[in-house]
Structure 1
Amino acid sequence: MNKRMVIFLFSLLLLIGCNGNKIKRNTELEKDINSSIIMVSDNSESEVNIKDLANFEWDKAFLINPYTPQEEIEKQVGVNFKDPSNISSRDDIYLLIFLNNGKVVQYAEINRLQTSFNLADKEYLTPSNDLMNIKR
């Protein structure tokens, strides 16, 4: 292998390894929230404390409704975020996006399961104001 080929392969590996996408889908949080949903009986309302379920550093969490376009997600969250769930064309999930110090750190896809979620009159959740409403 010549020197140029070695440099090219090394550069390619470096670029692949440093893709900058460190945003983690939190499947454990998804399972915990889904368990909370199942415990809510039909035609009733409940709340879930997100702080108790999110075992990582975060300072804001945004609830994104089904069918929300990419531009609206970024406007609501206030940062660039490439939605990996494609929620703009889905009605089966909500998206919960967590920020810490102005950067998206994790997200969760929450199954609707014939349920609706809201943050009451809040724009977003914080660790000190973390109640998400559930209605079945």
Structure 2
Amino acid sequence: MKRVLRWLGLIAAIIVISVLSVKIVEYNSLVSRNTRNLERILSQNTYSEKGNVKNLITFDYDKMYVFLPYLPRDEMEKQIGFKYPKLIQALNEGINNILFVKDDKPVAYLFGYPSDTGYYINIPSGEYTKAQIEATTYQSKTREVGNSYGTPKKYVNYLLTD
């Protein structure tokens, strides 16, 4: 009996270590690092109220995809031309759902409500090249949104313009 428990404990420890290793590798992936850095920049609004978008995005990418709300993952994958299991179908409007791609590989993914992420990028859905985005300017304003807890949250609203 002790031997069985010892083996079960060993197997459980191996599983836990494996899961933690995968999470650590995922946390340190290029996509994760780029996403965290961009989210930090956008939510802190360390730049002026007006500026060029190329000053906000510090990593290299070829294209930026802005997905419509309610679009299923398989439709998003058709648009980008490859499978990416981390894509999430937005079930409401007003959610960021933006994927940055370099050489047909994801390099950053922004998804979430402005009240959770601290920012909102107001740009029409579609596919944009890096040159198009770098030629784009933005205006940012701090907005406040209410919630069911009665404590309004602030976020930075970025309006992208040509």
Q: Give the TM-score of the pair, scaled to structure 2.
A: 0.53
Identity of aligned residues (%): 20
State the partner residue of 2:66. Answer: 63
1:18-57 alignment to 2 at 5 Å? Answer: 18=22, 21=26, 22=29, 23-24=31-32, 25-26=35-36, 27-31=39-43, 39=49, 49-57=52-60
List runs of 5+ in structure 1 lacking aligned partners. Answer: 41-47
Give me the whole-angstrom Cα distance separating, in 1, the residues matched to 2:67 and 2:94: 12
Q: CA deviation at 1:28?
A: 2.4
Counterpart of 1:80 (choices 73, 78, 83) is 83
Larger relative helix fraction: 2
Distance 1:55 1:32, change over 3 A: farther
State the Cα deviation string for residues 89-116 of structure 1 (Å, max 9, x = none). 11012322112232212112475x9985
What SS does the corresponding residue of 2:83 show, helix, strand or coil?
A: coil
What SS does the corresponding residue of 2:123 show, helix, strand or coil?
A: strand
Q: How many residues align?
A: 119
Distance 1:107 1:29, change over 3 A: farther
Give me the whole-angstrom Cα distance separating, in 2, the residues matched to 1:55 and 1:114: 18
Distance 1:115 1:6, change over 3 A: closer
Q: State the AA in 2 paired with 1:95.
A: N
List runs of 5+ in structure 2 lacking aligned partners. Answer: 138-159
Contact preservation (8 Å) 1:59, 1:101 = yes
